[in-house]
Structure 1
């Protein structure tokens, strides 16, 4: 279950058709998108996010990601629109499933693997091995690979993924994990848009990254997308539409949407930092600003953005 590049490419390639066919689409009402609940487990309660840093990340880069994760659970402690209010949308899934409650995310333990213990070219199966280093009950493991690490399928089929594995050999209990790669040098046009010109579609100027790091700010978008997918579809039988092997989930159901009036190739109407010129739609702790993807909201059966 990952962030599909096929979806992204098709999304951008539809720009001309959308712009040229607005009168037609206005006459033909599309059925509302509905992510169905498949009666499986959803993640709720207090959810530590344990991070495995694989490769070389600066202290500043780790701080940007750490502040983002911490911001998700800091209700009423940020300026509006806030990162935590974006995350609250995931709790609508719990309510819709008859399991009302909170999914409170917090930053858990961090594991540094700066010496590339498995090398600089990883198979998908090795991501699970790395995730196991920080696995714990009732938590999510986040594996982040640095810009010089090649991962099977990275840039070719996905920008990241989420999956699950047994907590230990022979146990039925599973833990959920996420992998996201830093695409700064490998494929920024695919996995760091809109902070880099897209590989396909109209070549509009890229937006200025809110934290001044195209690779990390792009990772934040993918981490956010996959966290939402993990909580609402952790084991492949939660909320999704389409085939279980390639599901459309909370964020992937709303590709390329970050603000109002978004359309293929245009991220939407966003907030602008007057001092840096950076585009963002969410405030975090410590004065951080982030660009977060739209989420499909089960309460309204529509894609919700913060701005």
Structure 2
């Protein structure tokens, strides 16, 4: 069966009609599934054949379990509707950067599997002032996290009380940690899940990677099964922070490495702004060099020249 493109949309969603048409022009037999967070704006009308759309009011903020749940529901929706041999997960701010039919054929010819990134996380916390060893992003998923609304204001203000809280959390990290998800829901307090070394080994490695990925029918079934309602892995991720960068990626990478270790959507992170850069025509050469089938993020106005150039290069009618 042809590919299914799952699009996660939010805000005004004004880019979605053009994105859907570009996908179908580049992959004529594909089907598009748009799931839209309507809290801040309605989804524009999408009266296009093979485009399915629906809105929700879930609090699917960045870094939340709700965002993963919405993604899984959309993937299940695509599976139930067309049973595709390839599912691609995108945001509403993505845009085709390569002829999609060509890219789909390349991935299938390579044996299917999945495309995306997955970095194993290993970290050992330390008591006192010493830094732990490894990548402390593992604490996002090895601790059970609780929203800490009463300290949101203090952490944002970065006052003396905030410094005291950070100092305490740093010194007690093997048991307790503190995080401020600045673009998400604010402050969290985490308690480390204490388990035997054997139990930790049985659970398997934890991975972190791009949200924008593609997988074949077999791996789609595995993801939906491993993260089904009530499963142990799902329960762990429901109480983690920023699970959208690990839950699905961990399931996939535990089965096999990515067939193509490149995100489905090429993007550039700007640490000083704490956000993904909005692409312009000046990024065209880098987008092409990335070999990713999509780029992100694009804006209908600021990226207009880039979108036109991409349409020409991908043969979009």
| Category of TM-score, reference length = shorter chain | under 0.3
| Structure (1 or 2) with the larger CA radius of gyration | 2
TM-score, with normalisation over the residues of structure 1?
A: 0.28
Q: Where is the helix percentage greater, Structure 1 or Structure 2? A: 2
TM-score, with normalisation over the residues of structure 2?
A: 0.27
